Amino acid sequence: MTHWLAQTERQSKLLQAILDPQDFTLLYGNEAFCRLTGLVAPEGEVKEQNICLFDLFADFDAIAREKLYRLHLLPLVLRDLCGIEADRWRLLDEPQTAILKSALGGEPRIVQFWLRSQHLHVERINPEIDEFADMDLKNGEIPSQEALEAQIQWNNYRLTGQLLWEGLDVSDRETLQNLIQALIDPQDITSDPEAFTTVARLMRSLFRTSLTAILSLKRENLQLFICQGDRVESIDTLTWDSFANSQLQRAIQANRIWNVPDLKKNNASAIEEELWRRDCRSLLLIPLRWEGQSESEGQLLGTVILGSDRGNCFDRLDALRAQSLIAPLKTALRQAHREHFTRVHPSVAWRFQQESERRSLGLSPKRIVFEKVYPLYSISDIRGSSKIRNQAIQKDLLAQFDLALAIADTALASREIAFLQQLRTDLLAYMDRLSKQIRVEDETMAQQYLQEHIEVYFPYFRQCGETAIAAIEAYEKACQNDHQCIYDAREDYDRAIGQINAHLRETWGKWQQQMQAILSHYCDIEVTDGIDSMMYVGSAIASQFSLFHLHSLRYEQLRAVCDCARTCFAVQKHYNLPLAVSHLVLVQDTTIDIFHDEHTEKLFDVVGTKDTRYEIVKKRIDKGIDAKTSTRITQPGMLTIAYSTEQEWSEYHQYLRYLVREGWIDSQIESGAIEPLPGVTGLKFARVKILDSDEE
């Protein structure tokens, strides 16, 4: 019988240790315990090594240790000194979880354990102290555990006997749970290297892998994401030919967990050659397909590739664990497939998240619509930016043609050749035309002309003497930049535009924070030659929306535009820029419906034809013409308000009075009608001067 018990103990996975209850010093550890912790203990005797159990834990500090000690001490005090069986202390049956430093594989192991304290006895060190004397405990009226713990004097007790510690290695179970949690997290693991590394680390612990890869199929585009160690790479040059006759292709066709015990070097496919090069000798493949009543039902979602640097690494248990991961793996890849939902404005992100969750359950796509929202549009436009840039193009091109002409002249001075004379005449004609007019295509075509008619002959021109060589060097030095042409005037223009745009965006961003604090709303900013701001406000976006919120945001929008104008004044003064900026707000007091079209780059489009009018006006209003004077309704340094109805004007006239009172604008208002736009008539405008901060 003794022999049988000894054999059973060696084969058992139950971890057992005997502890001194006063300080948790190890007295004995069974074979499973010693093997897991790496302790060398003949016959399990470890008393002489003076090791505290909790020194073997990586995450059990002195506070947690004291709490556990007191949890077991209190029921013993009630039992041994008060004669009360504290059977209601069910917490003693609740297992504790800790990370145990392990000798197995060098990695810490997660252990679930129990302390068996019912065989211990407790006595008071000073019998005179009885903190429960005033409590009538024997009548069964036992106070709460918290009340007892507050009353007890912990240092007045001594435990005798031996404490039994029992544990189970639950590392794989906990790792599996942590892996499932990491996979169902909303973060896209194919775009976040840190998230992918976390998943790969857990895969490595659970499956003993050396490589984790995800083959993702998005709209027929194949991409392979690989994590080996802590390094994440992506390969997007794959085609279906890369998988021809491969084990991966067979797994996808069979649509089941596929074990590849021996990945031989002389394999048939490009993908297997790549995996072999990365020291994969065996594979476990997990194909994933869409499910549910949708258009994509049955289509391939992707495949997870687990690779090991050892042959025959994976077994039936690995296959069972992989099977349990299919659902969370699909969830993770669905996150990657709805990439167009991941970078949306916070105000509407909740609706996109709802749709993402619907689709993750296999439900068919449903259009995202926000009904009856108010549009608030504004634009700060750098006036005449196209004309100024054309002038910069003209200046740069003429400078480069001058250098090219100097090369031709020095070559002709060396030797007059009729062909070269004709090239020079063509250069002069081209320069004459550029000095009078710049066309859209000139920026590229003029450069191409010089390459084909001058630069191609540089080898010959270098034979025409030192003067010609110096002229060529001057030309090449002037073009020695990323653009490979003279780009001085255009660089000054780009810098000026960049400065204005950067300051405009910063100013608008500051005001956006204030406006979002009034009410959550959608806002999209587009930066070109100035900035366009499109806001949508309504109960479909924020349920607490009211008329007060709408009017507050409209007024705040006007203040923000005025501040953008002041920003432009300051930038122009500081950088001495010749650019002028005009500012416009488009008013519409009727609501529109917007929706998300997954087939376009824009986040939102208008729903019906009744809302198309607003979009037409929005695109063309900054070029609107005063019907009386035939001049632009927008003017540099001024705020223009475009509207349709007297009700709209009455509301905004009130706002203008407020702006005058705050010192943002001048009190003089210019107004008029706007010439009809294609498909739109009846628009009016009001225009006021925006005051510089010095003019308040």
Q: What are the residue boundaries of the structural domains of the chain, listed by start? A: 2-169, 173-341, 392-485, 492-695
R_g (Cα) of the chain, nearest Å:
39
Residue 568's nearest CA partner among 510, 640, 496 is: 496
What pairs with residue 25 in β-bridges? 52
Q: Tokens 């912790």 identify what position? A: 37
Residues 667-694, mean pLDDT to the nearest whole number: 89
List all residues 6 or more positions away from 34 whose beta carbon is below 8 Å from its beta carbon.
40, 41, 44, 46
The pLDDT, as a whole number, for residue 268 is 66
Residues 418-430, mean pLDDT to the nearest whole number: 93
For residue 23, the SS3 value is coil
Residues 578-593, mean pLDDT to the nearest whole number: 89
Instruction: Characterize 647-686 residue by residue with b for buried, 16 or more Cβ atoms within 10 angstroms of its Cβ, and e for exposed.
Output: ebbebbeebbeebbeeebbeeeeeebbbeebeebeebbbb
List all residues 6 or more positions away from 689 whose beta carbon is below 8 Å from its beta carbon.
637, 638, 639, 665, 666, 668
The pLDDT, as a whole number, for residue 21 is 87
The pLDDT, as a whole number, for residue 283 is 92
Residues 193-220, mean pLDDT to the nearest whole number: 84
Looking at CATH, the fold of the domain delimited by 2-169 is given as Beta-Lactamase (3.30.450)
Confidence of residue 599 (pLDDT cuts 50, 70, 90): low
Dist. CA 121–CA 558, nearest whole Å:
79
The CA-CA-CA angle for residues 72, 74, 77, to 5°, reads 115
Q: Tokens 């366009």 identify what position? A: 532
pLDDT digits (tens, 9 = 90+) for 74-85: 888 888 887 777
The pLDDT, as a whole number, for residue 383 is 82
Does the pLDDT value for residue 99 go beyond 50? Answer: yes
Residue 362's nearest CA partner among 287, 285, 299, 304 is: 299
Dist. CA 399–CA 487, nearest whole Å:
10
Confidence of residue 610 (pLDDT cuts 50, 70, 90): low
Q: Amino acid letter at 180?
A: I
The pLDDT, as a whole number, for residue 91 is 58
Dist. CA 218–CA 247, nearest whole Å:
21
Dist. CA 282–CA 590, nearest whole Å:
65
Q: Amino acid letter at 583?
A: H
Cβ count within 10 A of residue 81: 16
The pLDDT, as a whole number, for residue 421 is 93
Residues 6-11, mean pLDDT to the nearest whole number: 59
Domain pair 173-341 / 492-695, same fold: no
Residues 680-695, mean pLDDT to the nearest whole number: 87
Cβ atoms of 47 and 57 within 8 Å: the answer is no
Dist. CA 604–CA 624, nearest whole Å:
25
Alpha helices (H) in 135-192, listed in sequence order = 145-151, 171-184
CATH architecture, domain defined by 173-341: 2-Layer Sandwich (3.30)
The pLDDT, as a whole number, for residue 229 is 82
Cβ atoms of 508 and 531 within 8 Å: the answer is yes
Instruction: Give strand ranges (E) for 466-573.
Output: 522-528, 530-537
Q: Of the ranges 348-352, 401-405, 620-624, which is most confident?
A: 401-405
Helix axis angle, 316-324 to 193-207, nearest 10°: 140
Dist. CA 85–CA 69, nearest whole Å:
18
Dist. CA 264–CA 282, nearest whole Å:
9
Structure tokens at 439: 């066309």
Residue 519's nearest CA partner among 341, 653, 373 is: 373
Does the pLDDT value for residue 412 go beyond 70? Answer: yes
CATH number, domain 492-695:
3.30.70
pLDDT digits (tens, 9 = 90+) for 46-95: 877 888 888 888 877 788 888 888 888 888 888 888 777 766 556 567 78
